[in-house]
């Protein structure tokens, strides 16, 4: 299956998504709605499960592909991956789409990206975490989203729609440098912890970006610029 690149600049302007603090290594860029809903319709790397109301669910994937925590263990649900799987040439093209399918009555339904409550393998599943290993299993890098982020549901069905996360520019450059000094094919895994969930499943899929990822401040400045232009246009209109 081929994956269509995501056009970030236009989507970010249209969505006006609130970005994470600049110190977060894995940052939310925008919301996206894609056709072909369903776990099998996207390259799903993590499937978080839950039961009951007002719960915290947490899980991820180990280097050897073994899932841990509250995850589905089907081959199309939870797995390791390489850059070649979503047809990438470097980590600046890598993005993850976090898709929620919460059954609650909130409008929109949401969860909170939180620290993993259990000490066991906590660093692999805090908030939203991307972990990178060498082919031999040596840990190269871990990058996580900011804690206490509110993630809103984009579409009710499982699959491609959701919140786009990507590495900030400095972290992507650093990872590319580290990977250039390793031998073999690097292995990527995803982990996540969601608090205040309503029992529905969540998926994280790997996709390709079609443009470089800017720092979070870039998107803030873009939104601010649009606001200034609108304000000046309004003043001119009043003078006529």
Per-residue pLDDT tens over the stretch 138-166: 999 999 999 999 998 887 666 667 899 99
Q: Which domain holds residue 223?
A: 8-239
Quick check: is 1 in a domain?
no
Helix (H) or strand (E) holding 30, with range, is strand 26-32
pTM: 0.77
Report yes or no on 21 lying in a domain: yes
Grouping H, G, I as helix, E, B as strand and the rest as coil, residue 39 is helix
| Strand, helix or coil for residue 206 | strand
Write down the mean pLDDT value for the chain: 76
The count of domains in the chain is 1
- Does 60 score more than 90 pLDDT? yes
Model confidence at 1, pLDDT cuts 50, 70, 90, reads: very low
Q: Tell me the residue ranges of DSSP E strands in 76-201.
A: 94-100, 110-113, 128-133, 139-144, 149-152, 162-167, 187-197
User: If residue 68 lies in a helix (H) or strand (E), which one and from where to where?
Assistant: strand 67-69
**Is 133 within a domain?**
yes
| pLDDT of 52 | 60
The CA-based diameter of the chain, rounded to the nearest angstrom, is: 70
As a whole number of angstroms, the distance between CA 81 and CA 84 comes to 8
Q: For residues 96-105, give the mean pLDDT.
A: 82
């Amino acid at each position: 299956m081929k994956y269509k690149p995501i056009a970030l600049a236009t989507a970010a302007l249209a969505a006006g998504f609130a970005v994470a603090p600049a110190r977060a290594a894995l940052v939310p860029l925008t919301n996206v709605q894609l056709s072909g809903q369903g776990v099998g319709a996207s390259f799903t790397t993590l499937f978080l499960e839950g039961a009951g109301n007002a719960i915290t669910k947490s899980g991820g994937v180990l280097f050897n592909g073994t899932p841990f925590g509250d995850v589905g263990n089907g081959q199309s649900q939870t797995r390791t991956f390489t850059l070649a799987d979503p047809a990438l040439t470097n980590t600046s093209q890598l993005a993850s789409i976090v898709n929620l399918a919460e059954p609650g009555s909130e409008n929109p339904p949401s969860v909170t990206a939180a620290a993993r409550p259990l000490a066991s393998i906590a660093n692999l599943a805090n908030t939203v975490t991307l972990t990178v290993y060498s082919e031999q299993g040596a840990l190269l890098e871990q990058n996580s989203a900011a804690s206490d982020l509110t993630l809103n549901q984009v579409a009710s069905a499982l699959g491609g729609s959701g919140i786009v996360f990507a590495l900030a520019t400095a972290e992507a450059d650093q990872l590319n440098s580290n990977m250039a000094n390793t031998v073999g094919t690097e292995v990527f895994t995803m982990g996540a912890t969601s608090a205040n969930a309503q029992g529905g499943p969540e998926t994280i899929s790997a996709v390709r970006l079609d443009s470089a990822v800017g720092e979070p401040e870039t998107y803030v400045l873009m939104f601010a610029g649009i606001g200034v232009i609108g304000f000046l246009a309004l003043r001119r209109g009043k003078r006529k």
